[in-house]
Amino acid sequence: MDIQNDHRFAINLNVRGIQPSATLRINELSNQLRSEGRDIIKLGLGQSPFPVPDRVVAALRDHAHEKDYLPVKGLRSLRESIAGYINRSERMRCTWEDVLIGPGSKELLFILQLAYYGDLLIPRPSWVSYAPQARIIGRSVHWLPTHAENNWQLTAEELDIICRDDPSRPRILILNYPSNPTGCTYTDDQLLAIANVARKYRLILLSDEIYGEVHFEGRHKSIARYYPEGTIISTGLSKWAGAGGWRLGTFIFPAELRPLQDAMAIIASETYTATSAPIQHAAIAAFDGGADLDDYLVQSRRVLKVVGEYLHRRLIDMKVPTQKPEGAFYLFPDFSAYRDGLAKRDIKTSPALCQVLLEDTGIAILPASDFGFVPDQLSARLAFVDFDGTAALALAGGDYAEKPLDDGFINAACPRLKLAMDKLEAWLGEL
């Protein structure tokens, strides 16, 4: 039987041709290669290297018995905790009723696009799942151009250009910062300018701030301060609390978008029903904060900053232009200076570059083509997460508590990352 052409096995045309998520695919491949005995340096999946804070783990343990279905929009006490967290950190005045809980911010983004019929505007480069989600649902995607000299960040002028020809068209703009894949963020002036354009065209602005708490200087600001009536803040536990596998995300809506929130809740009720009860109860401890969590974040930021700066310096020394990260745990190096040498090995695209690099060195990174670029853009995303986060925090808060983190810290706490740079440097030198 020809299953592919049998109508009983017809696949939605919007899904056919889409590969599994690039980040999950590289993680599974890396794990498979490791199981086969290969020494793989995992710089593909952006999973926090740090442990879930002790008090949050204890809260999960204490609530493991919780078994009831919770309200679709989320546990009220958690929604109150998240509202308090946003009000403290962003000086806003949201209420618990403005908060929607979901099993990861990725799922919430998906049902947002189901609930709101509008085009998706995505600055290039972008996280790997924004555009595929829109394609699955059948929405139009418009890539917004950005430039390396501007740290691959959207400008208000570029946003205005794409909106002005059809000013009343419904649109969702996704703004992610600190950025996955670049680690760069926006200044106050840049956010204000973008907010003014978003207000002019009445855009729905989804501000993906999942990495906000890992801004290296702890100075993240939400664009919701400048465009409160049209901005949905997206955050969760995965990146700043090390709890990616817990699958808890949250959207914070302005009161003006309550009908959209309600529509998303209807979809949620017919799909995932509610987010895990034990996880929701435990998350209260995370969003309530406290001195222990403040110290956890301070040390996490210290570690990520010194690691990002070290890798940036090494890449620049290799003649690989890379924007200096300001948050998150990503770099977006450009290997185009080696285009001629790569071409001699028949490496002419970013997927080929990453494939051969993995085969030759065991370094797993993701090609620029997974982030919205054409294949011959010889860039890649590097997630600097292959180190023992528990040991790194202990060292940073111990021997290095009273002194700056340095290359000695990198050697002691992050030897796999140093090894990656040594291997990459040698590989490029042989081209």
Report mean pLDDT in 10-residue bins for the chain, 431 residues: 54 62 67 82 91 97 96 98 95 95 95 94 90 88 93 96 94 96 96 98 97 96 97 96 95 97 96 96 96 97 98 98 97 97 95 92 92 93 96 96 96 97 97 87
- Domain boundaries 54-289, corresponding CATH code: 3.40.640.10
At residue 7, the pLDDT reads: 55
CA distance linking residue 375 with residue 348, whole number of Å: 8
CA distance linking residue 251 with residue 209, whole number of Å: 10
The two tokens of residue 7 are 């109508």
At residue 374, the pLDDT reads: 92
- The pTM is what? 0.93
Mark out the alpha helices in 318-385 (DSSP H runs): 339-344, 350-361
Phi and psi torsions of 209, nearest 5°: -110, 35
CATH 3.90.1150.10 fits 18-47+292-429, yes or no: yes
Phi and psi torsions of 53, nearest 5°: -55, 145
Q: What is the DSSP letter of 237?
A: S
Q: Does residue 21 contact residue 110 with C-beta atoms inside 8 Å?
A: no
At residue 266, the pLDDT reads: 97
Residue in this structure with the two tokens 């996490």, named with its chain if needed = 300
Contact partners, residue 107, CB within 8 Å, separation at least 6: 249, 272
At residue 424, the pLDDT reads: 97
At residue 1, the pLDDT reads: 44
Q: Where are the domains of the chain?
A: 18-47+292-429, 54-289
In 3-state terms the chain splits into helix, strand, coil percentages (rounded to 5) of 50, 10, 40
Other CB atoms within 10 A of residue 263 CB? 16
